[in-house]
Structures are given as C-alpha cells and as structure tokens.
Amino acid sequence: MTQVPPRKTLTKPTQTSTSAPKKAVRKPQAQASKPASTNAKSALGVADKSNLTPQVNVDTPSQADNKPKANPTPDLLAIKPDALATSLLGAAQAVSYVLDGVALPQALSRVFEQSKAETSTRGAIQDIAYRTMRQVGRADALITLMTNKPAEPPLLYCLLCCALTLLIKEPGVAAPYGEFVVVDQAVNAAASSAQLVFAKGMVNAVLRRFLREQESLLPVAMKQPAALWNYPQWWVDQCKAAYPQDWQAILLSGNQPPPLTLRVNRRQISVADYLQLLEQNAMTARVVGQSAVRLDKPVPVAQIPGFEQGLVSVQDAGAQIAVELLDLQDGMRVLDACAAPGGKTGHILETADVELVAVEIDVKRAERIHENLARLKLFATILQGDATRSNWWDRQPFDRIVADVPCTASGVVRRHPDIRWLRRKTDAAQLSVNAARILDNCWRLLKPGGRLLMITCSIWPIESETQAAAFATRSGAIRLPAPGQLHPTSDGNNDHDGLFYALFEKPAV
C-alpha cells in the first residue's frame, strides 16, 4: 500500500498543545516540522458553542469539584469483560490515543495489549472505535452544544463521542444497540473507571438529553462543516476545489464501511470453485473483477474459507487492477518498488511465472511480505532497501516496475477513518517530493521498452495526475492508457477505494 504514518495534528480535545491506512514507516520522506499545537475543537471545524443555539445546560464536572471529600477513592463498578461498557471504555481509550496522534490500528493494538481483552470484546472495541472515527466531527459538535465546559479528562470526551456515535441514527442503517442500553452501559463504563467515576452523572445527563432533544440538536450541529461531512474544513474545501461535480459523493463514500473484497489465487483454485466453497460455508458473494470476489457480508479474516491455505487474500477491487495493466509475460523480471505488505507482490506471482524483486525500506513491514508469500506458497527476492536509491540493485534492468509511491492515503479513508483527522493540509505536497524521487530512480532501473506503473491511493491531484504529468515531461516517458483517477465509490458492483494509475513506457534506444 501507499500509506505512510499520519502526522500528529490533533491535541486531546480538552487541552491546548496535539498513523492508514494504515502503518509503520514504509518509505523515506522529507520530514515536516512539527505542527503548531492546536485545539481539537477548532481542528474539527466546530465553532465556539457560545454562538450556537439551543444551549443545553449540562455542566461538565471536574475531578477536583466532584470527588467526594470524605472518600477520595470511590468504589468502582465491576463490569463483565463481555459487557458493552467494557467495549465502550476500550474504544474511548483508542480514540483518545488517536487524538494524541496515534494511527487507529496501533491505538487499538495498544488497548488490546493493556486490557487483555478477549477476542469477542476486541471485535466490539474495534467496531465502536471505527464507527466513532467516522462520526467524531458530529459527536464533537453535539458535545459542544450540550456542555458548558470542556469534557475533561480527554477519556471522558472520547467516551461521550463513542456513546453518541452509537445513538446517532443513520438513514437505512439498523442501530447496533438499543438507545437505553447504550446510555446505561456508558454510565457503567464511567462508573468502572477511576478517571471517570466522578462524571457518571454527567454522562447520563448528556446522553439522555440527546435522546430527548436530538430532533432540535442535530440540525444546529449539522450547520458545522465538520459535523455535516465528518471531515476537517480544509479537507472539504480541497475536495470541492479538485472535484467540483463529485466532491459530495467522494466525501460520502469515505464515510461508508468498506466491503470485504477477496482476490482469488487462481494458481490454486478457480473463481467459480471458490464461490462454491463459500456456498458450502453458508456465505454468499459476487464476482467484481477477474480475480475479485466481494462477500455480501463481511466476516473476520480468520473465518474466510481457504484464507490460511492461501486460496484467497484480502484486497480491494480497485487495487487488483494493477496487475491487469502490467501485461505480464512468463520470464519477465519485475520490481515491486514499495512492496509491503505484499498484496501486489502476491498478485503478480499468482498471474505469471516471473522473476520478482520486492523492495521495502522497513524491516518489520518486509517481514509481512515474507509471511504473505509463505501463506500463498509463492516466492520472491525480498530486499530491505530505499526506493529512492539503488544501492540494493544488482544492475540487471527490469521489464516491469510497480511504484506504489508514498501518499496521504486520502483515497482509503473509509478503511482508515482516522487519517482525515491526523493529516495536515501540507502533507500532500511534502509526500509528493519523495514520490517523485522514487519514480525518477525506478526509471533508471527499467529496460528500454519496459513499463513502469505508478500507483497512489490518494485523491489529491498533486499526488496523482500532477505528479504523473510532471514525471512524463522530465523523463520523456511514453504515457500509455490507464484508468487515471478512480474516485472512491460504494455504488453496487463498482465498489472500490480511491486510487490513481498512470502507466509509462520507456522509449527504445
């Protein structure tokens, strides 16, 4: 993939001072200076609540004001490991880590390690955390309307965000939990935490007030761009400027849960036979590409038939287009220049008998390539190396090169909803500089008559079409037909992430 760790751009919502998705550093990049500290309310685009109506008079307690003086350590409520309260508290902690600049997958891993949560509870924590990151702009606006002071400590703010996310009704989407169950369990979550027990009454009051007043509160909250679209204001403005006709559909698609799309390993099983295997396991799916099968109902990876045996891999339908564009022939020498975690590497080897070199700068992420190829029963030469340099190269040119260059991952926010809140407006320009270096270096490694495929998972033109046009001009590359910019979409069979493809041929000597 093309994502690099998100920048730390937010502070905890109640403090002044602040990766897709998706991961540890995978390629070198010019490091930007640390952004100035900001208040998370303004980062989310929510105005000062004193200018909004109606006001709901719920004071946010502080620990100092509300701790019983006679009992500085109040008794905490014991909650069951599989209770919704446990999941709410874990999700709130993960969201809190994100507001500190930690990417959501890493935040969840930290919570799981700290809590020793059981598998079923981990699934619920993850589900609530991802839902919340898609609704945090709206939840923030509601909290601003319904409280007279900042919700402190940050864990309290995040618990309210998680609970409100579960209470906000989405058209055509069944609520995951009953309203009063959510309120009761959120109060229990607060009562079980030494940090939040003082605020359990406030949690109860805010959530019950929302249930009573939601028809009047939501229209006021939705006047704020961050609440209406659940993106920072700069993201909305940039999307409008880039895609005047399509910006609304692009933003809405990014707020939808992604499908579970599989890539069938046709070296081991045909698409038709795999569909039969799914049917035998009481699962239904549809074919959405040459090797792409989308499950009608997503399931955990461990429950996907044949996954551990290498029959299938998880890969977005749009990402599977890459190999189709390469026109691979047996015997070719192929470079996957920014290879981790190995999705395209595996797909190339499933398609043709080629000599494949996979380069990845990060040692740990290179291990993931080894793991994925072992599961698929495939082999490649995997090197730790910097794709902007060639000190790892054996001086044997390549027939085909895939350059999945570093980018903001703005096209995969439906899979990594935290990215929108962690990115800065300046990131795309900074990342495009390093991407250009990778393209220029890869061009030197390509045979005359060979082809280079540039890929990004970004929707910003500076990282995609502008980058491709500039590269073609300075390199003299022949530009071949390719899809160009794919907008993220959730429209029936045409369901994929936001990706960009540009295909270049090196002129023969």
Q: Which of 158, 162, 239, 457 is catalytic?
A: 457
In this predicted structure, what is the pLDDT of residue 61? 52
pLDDT at 10 over 60: no
Distance CA(431)–CA(427), nearest Å, equals 6
In this predicted structure, what is the pLDDT of residue 281? 97
Per-residue confidence band for 407, with pLDDT thresholds at 50, 70 and 90? very high
CA distances from 364 to 25, 29, 137, 183, 368 (A): 10, 18, 34, 42, 7
CA distances from 117 to 82, 94, 98, 300, 303 (A): 9, 13, 19, 17, 20
In this predicted structure, what is the pLDDT of residue 438? 98
Instruction: Find the mean pLDDT for residues 56-76.
Output: 55
Per-residue confidence band for 174, with pLDDT thresholds at 50, 70 and 90? confident
pLDDT at 468 over 90: yes
In this predicted structure, what is the pLDDT of residue 49? 34
Write b or e for each residue in 247-272: b if 16 or more Cβ atoms lie within 10 A of its Cβ, otherwise e.
beebbebbbeebbbbbbbbeebbebe
For the entire predicted model, the pTM comes to: 0.85
Distance CA(254)–CA(458), nearest Å, equals 12
Distance CA(468)–CA(118), nearest Å, equals 47
Whether residue 153 has a cis bond before it, omega within 30° of 0: yes
Judging by DSSP bridges, how do beta strands 499-505 and 446-456 pair with one another? antiparallel
pLDDT digits (tens, 9 = 90+) for 242-264: 999 999 999 999 999 999 999 99
In this predicted structure, what is the pLDDT of residue 73? 62
Helix axes of 154-167 and 119-146: crossing angle, nearest 10 degrees? 100
Task: List the one residue out of 418, 412, 411, 420 whose CA is nearest residue 459.
Answer: 411
In this predicted structure, what is the pLDDT of residue 38? 39
Q: Tell me the backbone φ, ψ of residue 502, rounded to 5 degrees.
A: -135, 130
pLDDT at 33 over 90: no
In this predicted structure, what is the pLDDT of residue 3? 46
Write out the two tokens for 125: 């924590």
In this predicted structure, what is the pLDDT of residue 74? 74
In this predicted structure, what is the pLDDT of residue 393? 97
Per-residue confidence band for 71, with pLDDT thresholds at 50, 70 and 90? low
Cβ(238)–Cβ(425) under 8 Å? yes
In this predicted structure, what is the pLDDT of residue 44? 53
Q: Beta-carbon neighbour count of residue 287 at 10 Å?
A: 15
In this predicted structure, what is the pLDDT of residue 72? 58
In this predicted structure, what is the pLDDT of residue 37? 35
* 158 noted as active-site residue: no
pLDDT at 11 over 60: no
CA 140 to chain CA centroid, Å, is 20
Alpha helix stretches (DSSP H) within 25-116 = 40-43, 63-66, 84-99, 104-115
pLDDT digits (tens, 9 = 90+) for 182-239: 999 999 999 999 999 999 999 999 999 999 999 999 999 999 999 999 999 999 999 9
CA 60 to chain CA centroid, Å, is 32
Task: List the one residue out of 114, 119, 124 whose CA is nearest residue 86.
Answer: 124
pLDDT at 42 over 80: no
In angstroms, how far is the first alpha carbon of the chain from the final one?
Answer: 33
Instruction: Find the mean pLDDT for residues 446-462.
Output: 98
CA 243 to chain CA centroid, Å, is 21
Cβ(11)–Cβ(39) under 8 Å? yes
In this predicted structure, what is the pLDDT of residue 170? 85
Instruction: Find the mean pLDDT for residues 296-313.
Output: 96
In this predicted structure, what is the pLDDT of residue 408? 97
CA distances from 287 to 166, 198, 269, 272, 302 (A): 32, 53, 14, 9, 21
In this predicted structure, what is the pLDDT of residue 111? 97
Write out the two tokens for 222: 């939705």
Q: Beta-carbon neighbour count of residue 462 at 10 Å?
A: 18
Helix (H) or strand (E) holding 369: helix 363-376
In this predicted structure, what is the pLDDT of residue 494? 80
Distance CA(176)–CA(192), nearest Å, equals 22
Please state, rounded to an integer, the average pLDDT across all residues of the chain: 88
DSSP one-letter string for 429-481: HHHHHHHHHHHHHHHHTEEEEEEEEEEE----GGGTHHHHHHHHHHHTPEEEE
Instruction: Find the mean pLDDT for residues 136-155.
Output: 94
Per-residue confidence band for 173, with pLDDT thresholds at 50, 70 and 90? confident
In this predicted structure, what is the pLDDT of residue 367? 95
In this predicted structure, what is the pLDDT of residue 172? 78
Distance CA(498)–CA(5), nearest Å, equals 18
In this predicted structure, what is the pLDDT of residue 431? 97
Q: Range with the lowest mean pLDDT among 114-123, 215-224, 500-509?
A: 114-123
Per-residue confidence band for 89, with pLDDT thresholds at 50, 70 and 90? very high
pLDDT digits (tens, 9 = 90+) for 333-381: 999 999 999 999 999 999 999 999 999 999 999 999 999 999 999 999 9
What residues have CB less than 8 Å from 239, skipping those under 6 apart? Answer: 231, 247, 250, 251, 459
What residues have CB less than 8 Å from 335, skipping those under 6 apart? Answer: 356, 357, 358, 359, 398, 400, 401, 402, 442, 445
Instruction: Find the mean pLDDT for residues 111-124.
Output: 92
